[in-house]
Amino acid sequence: MVDRAGTYERIWAVVRRIPRGRVATYGQVAALAGFPTQPRLAGYALHALPEGSTVPWQRVVNAQGRISTGRGQPGGELPQRFRLEEEGVEFDGRGRISLERFGWKPE
CA distance 19 to 1: 33
Query: Buried b vs exposed e over 42-66: b needs ≥16 C-beta within 10 Å?
Result: bbebbeeeeeeeebbbbbbbeeebe
pLDDT in the model for residue 3: 66
Q: What is the pLDDT of residue 53?
A: 94
Query: 38: which residues sit within 8 A by CB, 6+ positions away?
Result: 30
The number of angstroms, rounded, from the C-alpha of 83 to the middle of its chain's C-alpha atoms is 12
In terms of Cα–Cα distance, which of 88, 107, 72 is closest to 98? 88
Q: Which residues of the chain have pLDDT under 70?
A: 1-3, 70-74
Q: Quick: pLDDT tens for 33-51.
A: 999 999 999 999 999 999 9
The domain spans of the chain are 4-102
Question: In the prediction, which pLDDT does 70 show?
Answer: 60
CATH class of 4-102: mainly alpha
